[in-house]
Chains A and B, each alone.
Chain A
C-alpha cells in the first residue's frame, strides 16, 4: 500500500517538471530512491559520528549529550543531505532535464524528511532516546 502511494503516478508527477520526455516515471522513481539512499547514508554517518564522539570522549561530560546538542547534530546532517542531492542532481543529465529546479528542491525536502525520520528512529531505538525525548 505504502509502495503504491510512493510510486503512484500523482506522487511521481509531483517531483518532475518535464513529463514530456519518455520514461519520466523511471527517472522520477530513481530520483526518489536517490533521496532515500542519501537520507539513509547521511543518517548512518551522523549516528556513527555521535557514537564515535561518545566512545572517544576523554571526559564524562563529553559523553553526555543534551537534547539541544542532539537536535543540533540532526540539523547539521541536513547540510550533507543537501549537498549529496545537489551533486547527484547536477551530475545526472536525466535528473537535470526531467526533475528540473522545482523537483530538485522538492527532492531535497523529501530527503531531509526521510533523514530526520531515520535519525529519530535511530535515537528512539537506542539508549540515546532519553537525549531526545
Chain B
C-alpha cells in the first residue's frame, strides 16, 4: 500500500519525525504469512511549510537519514534511487517533497517575488486571473499584508488561509512548482492513503490541513475508483512557548528605527537572534513588536475556533479525523519565532499523533462515517509524564487480521530482539561451530566474511533502532515522558556484561525442562521465552536477508508478549 504523510507546519513535521522513528523501531502495519511487518508498504513524506529552514525539518531530515542507514544495513540489495528499502520496515522515500506554499506560479516575472501576504495577493499566477488585492486587502491590517511570511504564518491562520488556498489551487496544475513537487499523477489509479497532519492552533497547520483536506477530498470524490483514502490528525495545544524576549506594542503603535536598533542590541545574545543577519534581526524585532509570534494566551481560543470550522466545513473531506491534545500543555523553555533556531524536542503528543497515522495506514477504520469515537486518556495518566502503556493501541486493517498493536509491546519486542541478535549468537566463533541455531549456522557456514560483515551490519542497524527508541521516549531528548520505561529499556540495551548476563539468565532454559527461568517486562507487558526457542526461529520459503530474519525474530518475540495480569 502506498502511504503519503503530509506534514503541515512545524507540528506536522515533528509528527512525521515520530512516525519515521516508530517505523524504524519496528511498528507493524500488517500481518503477512503470520509475520507482523510494515515491509512492502511505501511511505512518501510531503512537508508544507513556508519556513524552509525550520528546526523541525532538520530533525525530520536526521530521522530520515538514520532510517535510510538502518534500511541499507538490513537490505541485501543495493538501494534504488531515493527509496530506503529492506524487509525489516516500510520503504521510505527519503526525498521529502517540500511543498512551499510561497512557491507559487507566476504570470509575470515580478509576481510572487515579495514573500508577504500583500506581495502574493498583488500577484497573478494565471494570466486570466486578476490580482486579489483589491478584493481581499480591506480585510487585513497594513502590518498583516507587509509582514514577511517566509518563516511561517506566526500562528495567524487568517494570513495563511489566503496563501494556502492559492497554493492548493496551484496543485491542480502539474506544471506549477507545487504540482511538480507533489507529482500527484503518479497516484492516479493507485490505492493510496493520504494522511494530513498539523496543529489546530498554529498558523501553517491551522490553515493548511483543511485546505489540503479539501483539495485531496475533492479529487478523491471525483475519482472514486482510484481507491484513495484521506485522513488527518489535528493537534490541539499540547505545548506552549514562553513569552518573547520583549513585549509587543499596543494596537496602533508603530516602532521607530532607534527603538528597533536598541532592542536588537539588547537581545543580541538571545538564541532566537543567533545566526541571523543584521537585517533579519531588525525584522524579527519588528515582528515581535507587531505581535507576529505565537501567543500562548490565544492558542486555546484558536483551537476552539478551528474545531468549530472543521465541524461545519471540513470534517466531511476526511475518511478518518483524529484529534490529539493535552489537558495541560507542556511548557517550552526556549522562545523562537521559526527558522533554524526553533528546535523543539519530540513531544509525547506528537508520538500519539504518529500512532494515529499508523492506525490510518493499516486501513483500520475507527468508528463509522456517522459517528465520533471519543477516546479519552485514563484519569491516572499524567500527560506530562506519560508511560508507553498510555499510548493508544492501533489496529491492523481487516486484511491484516484486525489485531490490536500495543506500542509498549513493540518497544519490548525490539529491545529483546536486539539482545538476542547481539548477545545470544556467538558471533566471535565461526558459524560452523554454532550450536542450537542450526538454520542461521547454515547461512554463514563456510562464509566467514559474510558472517563478519553481517554481524557488523546487524550491530549498526540495531544501534540505530535503539537510538530510535530512546529518541521517542527518553526524557533527556523529549518532552512529556516519564523516565521509568526508558530506564527499563536502557537495561535491555545495555552493553554492560553484568546486565547482559542477568538478561541472559532470565531467558535461560531450566535444566531438564523447557521453560525459561525468568521473564522480561516493560510496563504492563511481559515476555517469557528461552534462547533455545530463539535458535529455532527462521523465516521460511524466502531468500534470506538480514531484514527478513530480523523481522521474523521480532514477530516471534512480539507474539509471545502478554499483558501482566
Which of A56, A60, A67 is close to B435, meaning CB atoms less than 8 Å apart? A60
Contacts of A22 in B (CB 8 A): none
Which of A60, A65, A131 is close to B437, meaning CB atoms less than 8 Å apart? A60
**Interface 9-mer from B133-141, B506-514, B546-554:** B506-514
Known A-B contacts A64-B426, A66-B426; A58 and B508 likewise in contact (beta carbons under 8 Å) = yes
- B437–A130 contact, CB under 8 A? no
Main secondary structure of the interface of B (DSSP, over half): loop
Contacts of B508 in A (CB 8 A): 58-59
Distance in Å: Cβ of A84 to nearest Cβ of chain B: 29
B314 is an interface residue with CB less than 8 A from chain A:
no
Query: How many angstroms between the C-alpha atoms of A60 and B535 in the bound complex?
Result: 7
Query: How many angstroms between the C-alpha atoms of A60 and B435 in the bound complex?
Result: 7
Contacts of A130 in B (CB 8 A): 432-433
Query: How many angstroms between the C-alpha atoms of A131 and B425 in the bound complex?
Result: 16
Which of A56, A63, A65 is close to B511, meaning CB atoms less than 8 Å apart? A56
Q: List the B residue with the shortest CB-CB distance to A60.
A: B436
Q: List the B residue with the shortest CB-CB distance to A59.
A: B531
User: What 1/0 flags go to B9-47 for Cβ under 8 Å of A?
Assistant: 000000000000000000000000000000000000000
- A58–B433 contact, CB under 8 A? no
A13 is an interface residue with CB less than 8 A from chain B:
no
Q: List the B residue with the shortest CB-CB distance to A63.
A: B435
Contacts of A58 in B (CB 8 A): 504-505, 507-511, 517, 530-531
Query: What is the count of residue pairs linking A and B with beta-carbon distances less than 8 angstroms?
Result: 56
User: What 1/0 flags go to B419-454 for Cβ under 8 Å of A?
Assistant: 000011110110011111100000000000000000
Interface residues on A, range: 10 to 19
- B511–A64 contact, CB under 8 A? no
Contacts of A54 in B (CB 8 A): 435
Contacts of A60 in B (CB 8 A): 424-425, 435-437, 531-532, 534-535
**Candidate in A59, A66, A67 with the most chain B CB atoms within 10 angstroms:** A59
Distance in Å: Cβ of A59 to nearest Cβ of chain B: 4
Known A-B contacts A59-B504, A60-B534, A60-B535; A67 and B424 likewise in contact (beta carbons under 8 Å) = no
Distance in Å: Cβ of A63 to nearest Cβ of chain B: 4
Which of B435, B505, B510 is close to A64, meaning CB atoms less than 8 Å apart? B435
Contacts of B531 in A (CB 8 A): 58-61
Contacts of B509 in A (CB 8 A): 58-59
Distance in Å: Cβ of A53 to nearest Cβ of chain B: 11
Which of A57, A59, A65 is close to B433, meaning CB atoms less than 8 Å apart? A65
User: What 1/0 flags go to A38-78 for Cβ under 8 Å of B?
Assistant: 00000000000000001011111101111100000000000
Query: How many angstroms between the C-alpha atoms of A49 and B149 in the bound complex?
Result: 77
Known A-B contacts A64-B426, A66-B426; A59 and B507 likewise in contact (beta carbons under 8 Å) = yes
- B511–A61 contact, CB under 8 A? no
Query: How many angstroms between the C-alpha atoms of A63 and B534 in the bound complex?
Result: 13
- B504–A131 contact, CB under 8 A? no
Known A-B contacts A56-B511, A66-B426; A61 and B432 likewise in contact (beta carbons under 8 Å) = no
Known A-B contacts A58-B505, A61-B504; A131 and B433 likewise in contact (beta carbons under 8 Å) = yes
- B424–A61 contact, CB under 8 A? yes
Contacts of B530 in A (CB 8 A): 58-59
Distance in Å: Cβ of B423 to nearest Cβ of chain A: 7
Query: How many angstroms between the C-alpha atoms of A125 and B535 in the bound complex?
Result: 25
Query: How many angstroms between the C-alpha atoms of A40 and B507 in the bound complex?
Result: 37
Contacts of A65 in B (CB 8 A): 429, 433, 435
Q: List the A residue with the shortest CB-CB distance to B508.
A: A58
Query: How many angstroms between the C-alpha atoms of A97 and B555 in the bound complex?
Result: 71
Contacts of A67 in B (CB 8 A): 429, 433
Query: How many angstroms between the C-alpha atoms of A61 and B425 in the bound complex?
Result: 6
Query: How many angstroms between the C-alpha atoms of A9 and B433 in the bound complex?
Result: 45
User: What 1/0 flags go to A110-133 for Cβ under 8 Å of B?
Assistant: 000000000000000000001100
Query: How many angstroms between the C-alpha atoms of A64 and B505 in the bound complex?
Result: 16
Distance in Å: Cβ of B492 to nearest Cβ of chain A: 16
Query: How many angstroms between the C-alpha atoms of A67 and B432 in the bound complex?
Result: 11
Contacts of B511 in A (CB 8 A): 56, 58
- A66–B428 contact, CB under 8 A? yes
Contacts of B504 in A (CB 8 A): 58-59, 61
Distance in Å: Cβ of A51 to nearest Cβ of chain B: 12
Query: How many angstroms between the C-alpha atoms of A54 and B534 in the bound complex?
Result: 17
Which of A57, A59, A64 is close to B434, meaning CB atoms less than 8 Å apart? A64
Query: How many angstroms between the C-alpha atoms of A63 and B436 in the bound complex?
Result: 7
Query: How many angstroms between the C-alpha atoms of A57 and B532 in the bound complex?
Result: 10
- A64–B517 contact, CB under 8 A? no
Which 3 pairs show the lowest CB-CB distances between chains A and B? A58-B508, A60-B436, A63-B435
Known: A58-B504, A59-B504, A59-B508. 14 other contacts (CB 8 A): A58-B507, A58-B508, A58-B531, A60-B435, A61-B424, A61-B504, A61-B531, A64-B426, A64-B429, A64-B435, A65-B433, A65-B435, A66-B426, A130-B433
A-B contact pairs, 14 of them (CB 8 A): A57-B436, A58-B504, A58-B505, A58-B530, A58-B531, A59-B508, A60-B435, A63-B435, A64-B426, A64-B429, A64-B434, A64-B436, A65-B435, A66-B433
